[in-house]
Homo-oligomer: A and B are copies of this chain.
């Protein structure tokens, strides 16, 4: 929103917290993501001549305001938790401190970026937990909010532990491992399914063949027949089943393949899979070697949004907070202290930035004067490894799929609580 920038003299330094107020019922943890994209945006922010022309055409803004916008760059500082960090309700994922107009104008972009990627990484984590060590691949871009959003989802999901993506742009742009998939239409374009399978193996080594375009048993049989005809040349890594009862179909296909001496051919399943469905297949012992997931990841369909907000925490050197029902916030610049015992996290304490407390501080400075700090951004692989380690330090019941009882403990430090109480009294008196 640009409207609040259009005011005289409110240019003192403001601090905003980007938080998720409460976790959705079916999330025991969130996996913070989106920081790299957010920092890219802040470094590149510039109001163009055509932006100004458009805004002037609205006849709503004074010349003085448009003049001030013309030179606008982001010159503030940012603190954030690293991408891949598990976070909980009311914990700042990112904190912006800048002149109020700069801090305000970036609100919507930062929220949409951090919200989207944190939502995707958090949904991905549950798929990974459900698959219990088996690989899960992202097939979701077709249901993302455009192809660019799909690539960002693929990156977030990889950080949270997925094995790869079918989105080639995510491979090219972010280095996410890509995983090809054979299309039903390739089969259908041939007059005979057996011709399609043979033709596909002639150009793809170690490939995955789709077997259920017409009829599962017939499809698997045609793979077995192909192995017989090709002999030594047969180089098929897996078959994919994309419809029907996936557990029963996998058992049937496994038996047929094993009986034909094709025990090395793996079975991949896809088709409307989500975390509970994967957990059921794993618990039922279905002979499945990997999963392809689309919609449950692309739109996080069991929790399609998070209760994120970008809240003023300080202005002109003083703490600020909102008192409206159920939307109360914590004032001032803060720190998250993650306390551990024997290498396992036991609770987080939300405190003031200047407190000295036990526990690992999660918020780190990542930008000053509008420029990234540090040599370069972390590699995707190291971010992914960091995420797995950080999630691995949480209590087992928090890492699991069922609702965590008790949920992971987040306390507020006495120091921060006192500061909030004092400010609340002052606001109630003053307004």
Interface residues of A (CB under 8 A from B): 1-4, 6-8, 10, 12, 14, 16, 37, 50-51, 54-55, 58, 60, 62, 65, 100, 104, 107-109, 111-113, 115-116, 141-150, 152-153, 166-168, 171-172, 178, 180-186, 188-194, 199-200, 202-204, 207, 212-215, 218, 222, 242-244, 295, 298-301, 304-306, 308, 310-312, 315-316, 320-327, 427-428, 430-431
A319 to chain B, nearest CB (A): 10
Quickly give the copy total for this chain.
2
**Cβ A167 vs Cβ B108 within 8 A:** yes
13 interchain pairs, CB-CB under 8 A: A1-B180, A1-B181, A10-B186, A16-B185, A55-B172, A104-B186, A108-B147, A111-B141, A144-B145, A146-B152, A188-B320, A243-B324, A304-B304
**Cβ B215 vs Cβ A431 within 8 A:** yes
**Cβ A115 vs Cβ B100 within 8 A:** no
* Residue from the list B14, B153, B186, B323 in contact with A214, Cβ < 8 A: B323
**Cβ A54 vs Cβ B324 within 8 A:** no
**Cβ B315 vs Cβ A305 within 8 A:** no
Residue of B nearest to A302 (CB): B304
Nearest 10 A/B pairs, CB to CB: A145-B149, A145-B145, A111-B142, A185-B312, A3-B180, A304-B304, A4-B186, A54-B172, A188-B320, A189-B315
**Cβ B108 vs Cβ A142 within 8 A:** yes
Residue of B nearest to A298 (CB): B305
* Residue from the list B107, B143, B152 in contact with A308, Cβ < 8 A: B143
Other A-B pairs beyond A1-B181, A214-B428, A243-B325, 5, CB < 8 Å: A8-B202, A58-B171, A112-B145, A214-B324, A218-B431
**Cβ B141 vs Cβ A112 within 8 A:** yes
**Cβ A322 vs Cβ B112 within 8 A:** no
**Cβ B166 vs Cβ A145 within 8 A:** no
A308 to chain B, nearest CB (A): 7
**Cβ B214 vs Cβ A427 within 8 A:** yes
Contacting residues, chain B, for A55 (C-beta < 8 A)? 168, 172
Most chain B CB inside 10 Å of its own CB: which residue of A54, A142, A299, A308: A142
Alpha-carbon distance between A115 and B299 when the two chains are bound, in angstroms: 12
Contacting residues, chain B, for A37 (C-beta < 8 A)? 146
Contacting residues, chain B, for A301 (C-beta < 8 A)? 304-305
Alpha-carbon distance between A153 and B311 when the two chains are bound, in angstroms: 24
Alpha-carbon distance between A178 and B244 when the two chains are bound, in angstroms: 47
**Cβ A116 vs Cβ B104 within 8 A:** no
Alpha-carbon distance between A6 and B205 when the two chains are bound, in angstroms: 12
A140 to chain B, nearest CB (A): 9
A165 to chain B, nearest CB (A): 11
A58 to chain B, nearest CB (A): 7
